[in-house]
Structure 1
Amino acid sequence: MASQGMGICGIGAVTGYGWGREKLWDGLAAAKPAATLTGGYGEDGTETVWLATVPEGGDPADGRGRFARAMRAAAREAIDDARARGWVAGERVGLLHAVVLGEVDLWKDFYLKENGTLRVRDYLSLMPSTPMSLFMQEYGFHGPAMNVSAMCASGNAGLLTAKAWLDAGIVDDVVLVATDLSLTPENVSHFTRLGVSVVDAEPLEGCRPFQEGSRGFIMGEASVGFVLSNSAPRPYTAVHGGAMSHDAHHLTSIDPSLRQVRRCFTEALDNAGVRAGEVRYVNAHGPGTKQCDEAEARILEELFPADAGIYSVKPLTGHCQAAASAVELAVAAIGYDRGVVHAPPAVAPAHPQLLHGEVPIDGGLTVKSSLGMGGHNSAVVLGPA
Structure 2
Amino acid sequence: MNSQKIGICGIGAVTAYGWGREVLWDGLFSGKSAATLEGGYGENCDEMAWVAKVPDGGNPVDGRGRFARAMRASAREAIADAEVRGWRPGRRVGLLHAVVLGEVDLWRELYRERHSVKAREYLALMPSTPMSTFMQEYGFHGPAMNVSAMCASGNAGMLTAKAWLDAGIVDDVVFVATDLSLVPENVLHFVRLGVAITDTEPLDACRPFQEGSRGFCMGEAAVSFVLSRNADRPYARTLGGAMSHDAHHVTSIDMGLDHVRGCFRDALSNAGVPASAVRYLNAHGPGTKQCDHAEATMLEELFSADTGIYSVKPLVGHCQGAASAVETAVAALGYDRGVLPAPPVVAPGHPQLLNGRTPVEDGLTVKSSLGMGGHNSAVVLAPPA
TM tier relative to shorter chain: over 0.9
Shift of 1:242: 0.3
Whether the 8 Å contact between 1:177 and 1:224 is mirrored in structure 2 is: yes
Alignment partners' CA distance in 2, 1:308 and 1:24: 25
Alignment partners' CA distance in 2, 1:212 and 1:265: 25
Alignment partners' CA distance in 2, 1:37 and 1:181: 17
Alignment partners' CA distance in 1, 2:237 and 2:372: 27
The match for 1:113 is: 113
Whether the 8 Å contact between 2:16 and 2:219 is mirrored in structure 1 is: yes
Q: Give the AA of the match of 2:87.
A: W
Alignment partners' CA distance in 2, 1:133 and 1:297: 41
The match for 1:75 is: 75
Q: Give the AA of the match of 1:75.
A: A
Whether the 8 Å contact between 1:370 and 1:379 is mirrored in structure 2 is: yes
Alignment partners' CA distance in 2, 1:2 and 1:337: 24
Whether the 8 Å contact between 2:2 and 2:270 is mirrored in structure 1 is: no
The match for 2:382 is: 383
Aligned-partner SS, 1:245: strand
Q: Which moved more, 1:18-27 or 1:42-51?
A: 42-51
Shift of 1:356: 1.2
Q: Give the AA of the match of 2:66.
A: R
- What is the percent sequence identity of the aligned residues? 75
Q: Report whether the alignment pairs 1:252 with 2:233.
A: no
Scaled by the length of structure 2, the TM-score of the pair is 0.99
Alignment partners' CA distance in 1, 2:242 and 2:90: 27
Shift of 1:137: 0.2
Aligned-partner SS, 1:209: coil
Q: Report whether the alignment pairs 1:28 with 2:28.
A: yes
Once the two structures are superposed, the pairs formed by residues 1-385 of structure 1 within 5 Å of their partners are: 5-115=5-115, 117-385=116-384
Alignment partners' CA distance in 1, 2:59 and 2:40: 25
Q: Give the AA of the match of 1:272.
A: A
Q: Which moved more, 1:43-52 or 1:218-227?
A: 43-52
Q: CA RMSD in A?
A: 1.0
Shift of 1:75: 0.4
Whether the 8 Å contact between 1:2 and 1:274 is mirrored in structure 2 is: no
Equivalent residue pairs, number: 384
Shift of 1:2: 8.7
Aligned-partner SS, 2:114: coil
Question: Which runs of structure 1 show a deviation greater than 6 angstroms over 4 or more consecutive aligned residues?
Answer: none
Shift of 1:109: 1.1
Q: Which moved more, 1:43-52 or 1:236-245?
A: 43-52
Whether the 8 Å contact between 2:105 and 2:181 is mirrored in structure 1 is: yes
Shift of 1:181: 0.3
Alignment partners' CA distance in 2, 1:111 and 1:79: 35
